[in-house]
Amino acid sequence: MEKLAIDYSTPQTMLLKLIGDWRISSGLPQISDVTSQLLTHKDIRRLDIDVSLMTNWDSGLVSFLIEVFKECRGRKIEVVRQGLPAGIGQFLRLADKPNAEVKPPGIIREPFLSRIGERVVRLGRSSRSLVNFLGEITCAFGRFWRGKAYFRWGDFIAIVQKCGVDALGLVSLISVLVGVILAFVGAIQLELFGAQIFIADIVGIAMVRVMGAVMTGVLISGRTGASFAAELGIMQTNEEIDAFRTLGVNPVEFLVMPRVMALVVMMPLLTLYADFMGILGGFIISTGVLGINPVEYINHTQAAVGLSNLWVGLVHSVVFGVIIAVAGCLRGIKCERSAAGVGEATTSAVVSAITSIVIATAIITFICRVIRV
C-alpha cells in the first residue's frame, strides 16, 4: 500500500497526503519522492499536509517531515502545519532552530553594601558555629576526664599511627631540606664577615623555636587535616553521623575527640623529630659544603639552642595540633551532603588550618617577645 500521495489543488499548491502506518518498523518512503515533484513543478509556493488517512506514527515520521521542511525552506516554499498532530508540531518546532544560540542570563550585580552585609552575616554564622563546636569539644573532654566519654581506644591508636608514624617520611624530607635552605641563606650574609660558624646558631634556633613546628603543621594540615575533613564529610553525606545521634552516641565524643587527642599527642613528637632532621640538614651542608668543623658546629648548636627555645617550639606544636584537628573535623561535620560539598570541605579545612597556623605563629611570637622568652 502506498503511504505517500501527492496532489495539486492549484498550480502553486502541492498537497502531501500521508496514508497508513508511518512507523519505522513498517518501512517509510524516501524523501526523494517529494523532492522529485518539487523539481518537476518549480512554480510551487505552498505545501499542505493531509494526515487524515494516517493511522500510526513514530520518530520515523518526524525525521521524514524534517527533511521535507528543510527542502521547502531551501526553495522558499511555505509549509502549512495546522493539520499535524500536536506532538509532531512540538518536535518540528524544536528542530527548526537546532543551532539557536542560548543567551546566558544577565549577570545581576548586587549592591556593594549588600555584598558586604552578606559576608558579615556569613562570618558571624561561621564564628558562632566554631564557638559552638569548641564548646562541644570542651564538654566532651570534660566527660572524658570524668570517665564518662564514649569512644574506642582502637580508633585512637589507628589515628595516632596514621597522623604520626605514617608521616615520618614526609616530615623527614621537608625538614632536612628546610635545614639545608636555612644554612645556605645564612651563609650568604655570614660569609661577608667571616662568621660562617654562626650558621649553626641560625639553623638551630630557627628550627627549634619556629620552623620545625610550622613546617610540621603545614604538612599535617595538608595530609591529616584534609583526611579528617574527607572522612567526616563522607560520613555526613552517607548520614552515618545522623545514625550516631539516633543511637544516642555523641559524634563529637566518638569521632572528633580521638582525632584531637591524637594530634595533640603526635604534633610535639613530630616537631621534635623535625627539629632534629632540620639541624641534621644544616649540619650536612655546613660541614660538607661550607667547610665548617663538625665539632665546632655541634658545640655552637648546643650553646645557642636553650630550653626556652625548645619549649616555645613545643607550645607552637600543641596549638597547631588543636587547630588542625578542629579545622578538619569542623569542616567535615558541617559539610553539605554531596560530593562537591566534601571537596569544598576538604579544601576549606586545609586553607583554614594553614591560615590559622600562620596567625597563631605571629601571635605566639609577639607574646614571647613581650614576656621576653
> What are 314-328's pLDDT values in tens digits?
999 999 999 999 999
**Cα separations (Å) of 313 from 19, 49, 361?**
91, 88, 10
Residue 54, beta-bridge partner list: 20
For residue 338, what pLDDT is reported? 85
Say if residues 178 and 207 touch (Cβ distance below 8 Å): yes
149: left (phi over 0), alpha (psi -120 to 50) or beta: beta
Three-class DSSP category at 45: coil
Q: How far apart are CA 276 and CA 219, in angstroms?
A: 16
**Cα separations (Å) of 50 from 36, 53, 79?**
19, 8, 12
> Cα angle vertex 32, ends 28, 33, to 5°?
70
Enumerate residue ranges in the chain where pLDDT < 50: 1, 99-100, 102
* Nearest CA among 35, 53, 38 for reference residue 8: 38
Q: How far apart are CA 42 and CA 174, in angstroms?
A: 83
**Cα separations (Å) of 195 from 188, 190, 202?**
11, 5, 12
- For the record, the C-alpha cell of 192 comes out as 661577608
Q: How far apart are CA 46 and CA 78, in angstroms?
A: 5
For residue 1, what pLDDT is reported? 47
Q: In this structure, is the dihedral angle defined by the CA atoms of residues 328, 333, 336 and 339, taken in order, positive or negative?
A: positive
Residue keyed to cell 499536509 = 49
Burial of 279 (0-12, 13-18, 19+ CB in 10 A): buried
4-96 architecture in CATH? 2-Layer Sandwich (3.30)
> Cα angle vertex 257, ends 255, 259, to 5°?
75
Q: How far apart are CA 66 and CA 72, in angstroms?
A: 10
How far out from the chain centre does Cα 28 lie?
53
Q: What is the DSSP string of 25-43?
A: GG----THHHHHHHHH-TT
Residue 8, beta-bridge partner list: 14
Residue keyed to cell 518498523 = 25
| Number of other residues whose CB lies within 10 A of the CB of residue 11 | 10
For residue 354, what pLDDT is reported? 94
For residue 182, what pLDDT is reported? 92
Q: What are phi and psi of 248, to 5 degrees?
A: 85, 15
For residue 230, what pLDDT is reported? 92
What's 13's DSSP letter?
Answer: E
Say if residues 43 and 9 touch (Cβ distance below 8 Å): no
- 245-301 tens-digit pLDDT: 888 888 888 899 999 999 999 999 999 999 999 999 999 999 888 888 899 989 989
194: left (phi over 0), alpha (psi -120 to 50) or beta: left
In this structure, which amino acid lies at residue 332? G
Domain boundaries, the chain: 4-96, 135-370
